[in-house]
Amino acid sequence: GIIAAFTNIIPNLGPFIGAAPAVIVGLFVSPMQALYVIIIVTIVQQFESNIISPRIMSSKLNIHPLTIII
C-alpha cells in the first residue's frame, strides 16, 4: 500500500512498480492469488486515474473533469 502510493507519483511505470511486490507475494501463495492481486490493483488504479484524480484536479483548477482526462 505505502510503496504503491509513493510509486504512483512516477508517470506510466509507477503503478506497475508499486504493484510488483504484492504480485510477487501473491505468487508465493498461489498463481491464482497473484492474478487476483493484478486484477484488484488494475481496477483500483483505473478508478483513481479516471475518476478520483480528475475530480480533485477539476475542483482546484475550475475546469471540467473530462478536460483533464483528455
Q: How far apart are CA 13 and CA 66, in angstroms?
A: 23
Classify 27 in phi/psi space as left (phi over 0), alpha (psi -120 to 50) or beta.
Answer: alpha
Which residue did the predictor score with more confidence, 66 or 22? Answer: 22
pLDDT at 65 over 90: no
Average model confidence (pLDDT) across the chain: 87
SS3 of residue 30 by DSSP? coil
**Cell representation of residue 24:** 510477487
Please check the confidence at residue 23 and state whether its pLDDT lies above 80.
yes
Q: pLDDT (tens digit, 9 = 90+) per residue, 28-43?
A: 999 999 999 999 989 9
- Cβ–Cβ < 8 Å for 68, 57: yes
pLDDT, mean of residues 57-69:
85
